[in-house]
Structure 1
């Protein structure tokens, strides 16, 4: 049996590279922050600011420098410099993604879903590519890697863990956004509560439903309609402003 190999367009590949790099920067940033937390905790220093790495948090860290020995002060300063540099790189990538999102109809369609901003929309779109390569929404849901494995046990079909065959970034975005749509969208919240009553807390199922919704939207070129909450126009409207602001940082 021969399978057709999908080759993404140049534009899709460009977006994918930017998103994946931005994602790696986020992971690198988390690693640096965790090292700082561990270092401060070893001295019994607890930062009380809501954002430990915002202005107030950094001020608290600065005030606790004297509690650290000479070598650890050097390490802490180096880690903080790393964080600052990573944030600069993140902003540059986000500016480029913002420019792309403004001019891409599929990305703007995805942004009609509550919880999807230009960054996550770019990520989802770039990992999907041409939606027409999927025969139906079930095939697309399977591609996401969120469908549980099935195996036979006697006369029963048992569902196991999700397959995780798809790009991990696609699963990451769909899973993260599913938490948001449950909270802010009546349609998804009702489905989730129904699932909870029948099966318990199965958030992965909402991620599958979200994936199927995305397939239908991209296939039919229709946006997500949520009469209860519609901020899509605002998201798209502020993007040029966002681009200019980030370019100045």
Structure 2
């Protein structure tokens, strides 16, 4: 007998619904999120000839790994697509688990990609470093805000060098009102702590990706250094899962929203769905990329004049995603082929 298990996974517990091949629920109930409780629910009867499905959500990897050890097959469902297929006005854990089991039995699960365990571990390490970098940027912005409250100080230091060696010394000694000085000192302490943590993570990151050929290929692209290459390579994982360059751009959330009615089509801001880590890496790589690559620089400047700097930056990030796709799918380095107008002739990796 074939069995299908729908799992509505939550932080502390999950609701499981076991269904047979005829669509009859043979067992269901709430299960505490521990490996022992899951194994007790499955017993020996529901481990053979059994497949399960759960939606991608908060810490789905824990439940997925537990089930994968015990069952023949485990699928990860795309939550937005499941909602589109089986949306309901009445929503409970019991109904959600039963719906997932039904979709699995009918082979209607819209699957989300599941990277391997090693890739997931690397992604967590890289995302932690990215989190620290974002925090340090927030702290730097707060320090800028404090200095901007005192216009008389602007001529004393170059704002672009505020966090260099000379700028940091100036921040320690600058004269401010008592309250602002105390806030500034606290921000500097926090920034120094974050910089220390980022530096310690660098040695950790450098050990990653040594045997990954995709990292070396990505580092040939302008603007993509070791960290960005590692992040992009692991967030993409297998380039073959993307049918073309547009699918990768969509996955990165670098395509515009579209509103079409009759013969009128309107393009808006970039979509909010997609891999935010991959999108962040490609957008952050724009500035070093346009400094190093003349074709990308002129492409950026051309769009900036017509559409503004923000849209130009996103457009270059989209172009970088195209280059990434070509480099990985064709398994070759990026080759600059600039001659004349770059808007008409991209680097060879894009053609």
- TM-score by length of structure 1 reads 0.77
Q: Give the drift of 1:100.
A: 1.3
Task: Give the equivalent residue in structure 2 for 1:68.
Answer: 177
**Deviating 4+ runs (over 6 angstroms):** 193-197
More strand by proportion, 1 or 2? 2
1:73-222 correspondence runs (5 A):
73-189=181-297, 200=307, 202-203=311-312, 204-222=314-332
CA distance in 2, matches of 1:4, 1:14: 21
Q: CA deviation at 1:191?
A: 5.2
Deviation of 1:45 (Å): 3.5
CA contact (8 A) 1:144 1:164 kept: no
For 2:303 and 2:288, the matched residues in 1 are separated by 16
The Cα RMSD (Å) is 2.7
Cα deviation, 1:91-131, whole Å, max 9, x if unaligned, reads 11122222214332111111000111011112212221221
Q: Distance in 2 between matches of 1:79 and 1:64?
A: 14
Q: Distance in 1 between matches of 2:253 and 2:141?
A: 29
Tell me how far apart the structure 2 counterparts of residues 168 and 121 of structure 1 sit (CA, whole Å): 15
Q: In the alignment, is residue 58 of structure 1 matched against residue 168 of structure 2?
A: yes
For structure 2, the 5+ residue unaligned runs are 1-107, 339-351
Higher relative contact order, structure no. (Cα contacts within 8 Å, ≥ 6 residues apart): 1
Q: Which deviates more, 84-93 or 96-105?
A: 96-105
Q: Distance in 2 between matches of 1:179 and 1:78?
A: 30
- For these two proteins, the number of residue pairs brought into alignment is 225
CA contact (8 A) 1:175 1:207 kept: yes
Q: Is the 8 A contact 1:146 1:163 kept in 2?
A: yes
Q: 1:57 to 1:217 in 2, by over 3 A?
A: same
8 Å contact 2:215–2:226 — kept in the other structure?
yes
Separation of aligned partners in 1, 2:109 and 2:183: 54
* Counterparts in 2 of 1:137 and 1:21: CA distance versus 1, 3 Å: same
> Between Structure 1 and Structure 2, which shows a larger proportion of helix residues?
1
Residues of 2 paired with 1:76 and 1:92: CA distance?
24
d(CA) in 1 for partners of 2:242, 2:301? 29
- 1:48 aligns to what? 157
- Distance across 2 between alignment mates of 1:22 and 1:41: 29
Which shows bigger deviation, 160-169 or 44-53? 44-53
TM-score, scaled relative to structure 2 = 0.57
Q: Distance in 1 between matches of 2:148 and 2:304?
A: 38
User: Using a 3 Å threshold, how does the CA distance of structure 1 residues 96 and 200 change in structure 2: closer, same or farther?
Assistant: same
> Which is higher, the Rg of structure 1 or of structure 2?
2
The separation in 2 between residues aligned to 1:179 and 1:81, in whole angstroms, is: 28
Q: State the distance in 1 between where 2:180 and 2:250 align.
A: 49
Distance 1:192 1:79 in 2: 35
